Amino acid sequence: MVFNINTATVAGSAAAETGISAEVGAAAAGASAPLLMVMPMGADLDSITFAAALNAAGAAYIASAGEHAASRGMFAGAQGLSAATSAVTEVIRDAELSI
């Protein structure tokens, strides 16, 4: 079985995923105030209920975006670990072959 991995490419992908994760997190944080601070247009029950529903939808979006950012971050960590493990494994393999 042939195993070939370009560790630089995988490490580059991990860095890109880390950047995307940070971007998603920053965008969610930046959007949190308008999404979570909806005020009722009036003092009637419909306006209060509608504002509460909009705040709940905003909270669900922020939670989903945070989960997405965390997942991308964990994926980036797994890619980085894979690249490092592969590089070390190749060094060990080359050392064993030279004996």
Kindly list the domain boundaries of the chain, sorted by start residue: 7-97
Q: Is the dihedral of CA 15, 21, 22, 23 positive or negative?
A: positive
Where do we find the tokens 């991990």? 14
CATH fit for domain 7-97, picks 1.10.1220, 3.30.2310, 1.10.287, 2.160.20: 1.10.287
What pTM was computed for the model?
A: 0.75
Q: Round to whole Å and give the CA distance between 3 and 64.
A: 36
Q: What are the Cα distances from residue 36, in Å, to 26, 39, 64, 70, 86?
A: 16, 9, 14, 21, 45
Give the tens place of pLDDT for each residue, 13-71. 999 999 999 999 999 999 888 999 999 999 999 999 999 999 999 999 999 999 999 99
